Structure 1
Amino acid sequence: MPVYRNRITAFFMNFLPGLGHYYWGKKARCVIYMLLFFGSLLGGFMLALVSNSGDIFIAGIVFAALVWGLSMFDLFIVLLKDYPGEGYESVYGPPPVSNRRLESDRFFTILLSFLPGLGHLHMGLMQRGLSFLVAFFGTITMLIFLAGITHDSVFLLFLGVLPVIWLYCMFDAVQCIHRKQAGDLVQDRTLFDEWEMGRESGRRSKVLATLLSMIPGAGHMYLGLLKRGVQLMVLFLGTFYIIDVMRLSLFLFLLPLIWFYSFFDGLQTISRYGREPLIDKPLVDRIGSHKHLLGLLLLALGIYYISMNLIVPYLDVHFPELRINYRIEKYLRPFIVSVVLIGGGIRLLAGGKKKPSAFQMERRNLDDDRF
């Protein structure tokens, strides 16, 4: 039976240096690259322990990165050589030229798509490729420009959008090349044209919704669940902001917990999309009944923020003997954490005892009268 080796599989396997070469039949190169990569990491670590110097370990990491890059580049050269029978082991001879050409074109398109837009340009989708290029590099330019103008690095946090654009571009390129090679008509539409068509037809892209779900609430909002999406986004960003402002590092575990809840809730919602009507059920059904609690929380946060940024620095300069910053770090923040934990525990215990409904009360009274 013929043995078929796929270029794309070899490429992704080589993210562990040498493994792609082994898959492609280059066993000697596999041994060399693995020894150099893992040997530099292990040797740098052992020498760093012996000499008690972290610079040696950093040098080992740098050398391992160079070996990784060299391994990938070497594999590129091997895979892009379209020799007859390359990647095949068969007693029946090399595969048909058309099959090898299709596979080579698919591999080259996916390889170019690591730079957003180039894979689409290779397929002749000029408008779509340019829209991905502009979206990716335009976002980088805009955020760096805003951070430089305002001298505030907080804008660089939005660089987290770039992996979403990159992943969507990669998935879209794979889908386009498979549809093109299957003989389907692939229209050259920009992202905005496609979203506009989806809006007019009332359909949403499940792939885009999945990628947007990596930002808490964004996937829900894209599917039209605005209340739930806004509340999830406010919950995540608000928790992050409060922990950062109040320096409550003890509650950092809440951030991944909220993120995973939002992401998997988004995946469940996407799986139901198109099969059943989606209900925009918010996390908190009646915000009006919690207005007073929310108002007190915002008032307390405002007072805390003003005190820590205006009053405390003034007192610390004019009355250094009071050591206000030290007392806040030593006593006030642990007190706040304790109050939040105890108050949350009391609230959960009190909420566990549900009051009987009117029907249950009436039935209980009838039972008492019967006896």
Structure 2
Amino acid sequence: MTNKKNRFFTLVFSCCPGAGEMYMGLYKHGVSLLSAFCAIAAVAFWLNWEELLLILPVIWCYSFFHTHNLRQMTEEEFREVKDDFFFAGYVDARPDWRLTEKHRRLFGVILLFLGLSVLCKTGVNLLGTFFYVPEFIWRFGYAVPQIAVAGVILSFALGLMRGEKEEPVEEEKEETAEENIAEKLQKEEA
């Protein structure tokens, strides 16, 4: 894999988030950037939360300049670049894909803010038509999916912030069982 690609095509593909990385041969990185860009746009329009669109220029700029930085690297530096998914550093390498302890609370707070702001915006929108019943019913029907998604986001955020209840290790279970048996034997002897 080489990073000495055509300058014109590098410029053209770098204008689409993720496409430049894929053109350079970093498919996982490119696909994850393009997916994040499209997913954020879809969620922002679906939940009627335009503020979320402020993340899109950040992703676009990162992708644009990352592509050009990849092209400027030497061949040795480029060979050392790992083709990994964009958020791979935030997830453990375990098969269950749990978030690392370090980032679990951060994502929980971000999701909590997202869920509360969607509920707040939807509530203010509904209150504006509260006294005109037909429009209120129409807007409420439109807002039901937004309210449901906000509820799911809030429950997921609270679960992340609370943390996972860790199961006792098998050795601890065995020790506890042995202690219980020892206690029973001592009671019987006494």
After TM superposition, the score normalised by the length of structure 1 is: 0.27
Task: Tell which structure's C-alpha radius of gyration is larger.
Answer: 1
Higher relative contact order (CA 8 A, sep 6+): 2
After TM superposition, the score normalised by the length of structure 2 is: 0.47
